[in-house]
Amino acid sequence: MLGNVLIEGSDLFGDGVNIAARLESLPEAIGAVEEAIALNRNDSLSHRLLALLELQSDRPERSRIMIEQTMRLSPRDPYRWAFLSILGRVQIALGECEAALVNLRQALSLNPAIDFIPIWIATALGRMGRTEEARAAISDFLRARPDLMRHNRTRHVR
């Protein structure tokens, strides 16, 4: 869940509408969100969504601009953890793994219920050559999501 946007696989749901299914491609999705921003430059949700779409389009520099704008627009937002997790992912993509660790750990401390953040922490640690810590982060993730392990075992047994 990203604010009022729920992300499930390649689908984006906003207010109950599957955004991704209505758009043919990432460029179209980016164009639609840019139109929303043009209509309301203070809409932090649209900036946050654009940051995520730009990151998925392999444009981390543009994503950083958007997520930093989001953070300026809504500095006390209850979804600050989401801002920090996107920023951390951007920093990993840009090779700024130390900074990414700081932001991802802060995101996790703001919302410990978000179980996927340890995977990004593991990614940063792995890229820094800190493999034992990366393995521990992956183990934390798998402990939080035992359903993933059961699913994989079942799938491979068949």
Determine contact, residues 129/122, Cβ cutoff 8 Å. no
Strand positions, DSSP E, the chain: 5-8, 11-14, 17-18
Output 16 or 71, whichever has higher pLDDT.
71
Q: What is the dihedral of CA 118, 7, 55, 72, to 10 degrees?
A: -90
Q: Please tell me the distance from the alpha carbon of residue 20 to that of residue 26, in angstroms, as a whole number.
A: 8
Q: Please tell me the distance from the alpha carbon of residue 157 to that of residue 135, in angstroms, as a whole number.
A: 25
Domain boundaries for CATH 1.25.40.10 within the chain: 5-96
Determine contact, residues 63/52, Cβ cutoff 8 Å. yes
Q: Is the pLDDT of residue 138 over 50?
A: yes
pTM over 0.85: no
- CATH for the stretch 5-96: 1.25.40.10
Q: Is the pLDDT of residue 56 over 60?
A: yes
